[in-house]
Amino acid sequence: MSKPSVIFKKEQHRNLKVLSIYAPNTEPFNSIVRKLGCVYSVTKKMWWLPWSKTITNTAFKAFRGIALVDYSSLKTEHHSDRQEEVEESQGTTKAVSALQTPLEITQRKWTQAQKDAMWAMSDVLIMRKYQPSTFKTYGVYFKKFLAAHPNQDPKEITEEQIIAFVLRTVKEHNYATKTQNQIINAIKFYYEKVLGMKKREYWIPRPRKEFKLPVVASEEEVVRMLVAANNLKHQCIIGMLYSAGLRRSELTGLRIIDVDFDRYQVVVRGGKGKKDRISLLSERMAIALHKYMKEYQPTYWMFEGSDRKEYSGVSIGVIVREAAKKAGIKKKISPHVLRHSFATHLMDKGTDTRYIQELLGHASLKTTAIYAHVSKKDLNKIVSPLDRIFDDRELKNNKLAPPSTEAANDTIIVS
């Protein structure tokens, strides 16, 4: 049975040079284009990506073995001899996975003005290189906002209507503070970043900011998790999250060349806020990573999946949770809890807060200072009044004191 055909073209679309992908509207093709981060054009009935040689090579590899890719129109671009080559930079996978999917506009009947608003918002989010999670979140709430005002041009929606929508939505769903702010930010992004209107902080009542202490694993619990992990790879993943204070996305994006074994440093490229930083490489982790690399032989990413692409963030979450479960830890442990633990344990040992700020990549010292609330550094110096009472063997002021010191020592609560 012959394979279905997929056509690649280099075209002009929405004032951009794009790689157009004409594929059957069936599985597994729909899944492939979504994983690539393609944008769908309703008018042209095709999927597209911003044009680049590396993205074209990655798209070709995604369809290889599944369909016959017709790239004859690209030969004038000197791609005919390059389609089956491995991309020049192994970082292509990361670049493509970071390309956000568009705001889906085909699920209901939208007005042309609403479609234009969604396309405009998608374009700005892509151009500003927002994270996929932010892109998805903004898309969900912006679509709900538009759906609440059917047949109305988004540019003509008033401040009173915006405020009413936010209050109604929050009240109906009892959203947490973080979600309330995401709704507000999604709407503000359209009016301020897309339409270029002035910032107006006053026109939507912001909820009170919650203060929640971070969950922290103890040093003993971290060791128990490392012991409980299934294999060397999983141990290294947990160990790197904790020992370098990495975010999940920073671990998945960690390349072999980012680990400096000679200087015992980890270079974090493009962390939160698109900022590079340097963190610690534990001597024990260096030994473990050498052993891991010899056994698993990663080629580009420090931690790779079976397809040699960067490891899945979802899989990392599962590894951490399973290790915590096997270790008998009742706390809800996530990759970010290990990052919290890294910072808190450093603070426990007296490390200067500014150094911790640099290691974590925090823009503000206020963000780092939250770990002072869970650090045991100063709390350990405080003696509980109950302990102080029973440590005072004379118990001069205790009317409930036993008649003798010997009797006090026999009291159950006294160790």
Question: Sign of dihedral through CA atoms 56, 57, 61, 66?
Answer: positive
DSSP one-letter code for 332: -
Kindly report the CA angle at 229 between 238 and 334, in degrees rounded to 5? Answer: 45
Would you say 33 and 23 are in contact if contact means Cβ atoms under 8 Å apart? Answer: yes
> What is the separation, in whole angstroms, between the first and last Cα of the chain?
80
What pLDDT digit, counting tens, does each position of 397-413 carry?
Answer: 555 455 554 544 444 44
Q: What is the spatial distance between Cα 391 and Cα 73, in angstroms, rounded to a whole number?
A: 86
Least confident range of 25-29, 64-68, 88-92, 240-244: 88-92
| Helix or strand (DSSP H, E) at 341 | helix 335-348
Residue ranges per structural domain of the chain: 5-97, 112-203, 219-373, 383-415
Q: Is the pLDDT of residue 19 over 70?
A: yes
Percentage above 70 pLDDT, the chain? 76
Q: Is the pLDDT of residue 381 over 70?
A: no
Which CATH code of 1.10.3720.10, 2.60.120.380, 3.90.400.10, 1.10.150.130 fits the domain covering 112-203?
1.10.150.130
Question: Sign of dihedral through CA atoms 84, 89, 91, 97?
Answer: negative
DSSP one-letter code for 95: H
> Of residues 10, 336, 376, 377, which has the active-site annotation?
336
The verdict on whether 362 is a catalytic residue reads yes
* Superfamily name with CATH number, domain 219-373: Intergrase catalytic core (1.10.443.10)
DSSP one-letter code for 386: H
Would you say 136 and 104 are in contact if contact means Cβ atoms under 8 Å apart? Answer: no
Token couple for 97: 């996975």
User: 70 falls in which pLDDT band (50, 70, 90)?
Assistant: confident
pLDDT of residue 378: 62
Q: Is the pLDDT of residue 324 over 90?
A: yes
pLDDT of residue 329: 93
Token couple for 169: 């939505």
> Of residues 247, 277, 309, 345, which has the active-site annotation?
247
The verdict on whether 247 is a catalytic residue reads yes
Quick one: 253 exposed, middle or buried, by C-beta within 10 A (0-12, 13-18, 19+)? Answer: buried
Q: Is the pLDDT of residue 195 over 60?
A: yes
| Equal CATH topology for 112-203 and 219-373 | no
Mean pLDDT of 266-274: 78
Q: Is the pLDDT of residue 236 over 90?
A: yes
The verdict on whether 336 is a catalytic residue reads yes
- Cβ neighbours, 10 Å, residue 21: 24
| Helix or strand (DSSP H, E) at 244 | helix 232-244
Least confident range of 12-21, 261-270, 275-284: 12-21
pLDDT of residue 388: 60
The verdict on whether 173 is a catalytic residue reads no
pLDDT of residue 98: 33
Would you say 278 and 256 are in contact if contact means Cβ atoms under 8 Å apart? Answer: no
Give pTM, 2 decimals.
0.55
Least confident range of 103-107, 250-254, 357-361: 103-107
> Of residues 224, 277, 309, 339, which has the active-site annotation?
339
Q: Is the pLDDT of residue 239 over 60?
A: yes
pLDDT of residue 225: 94
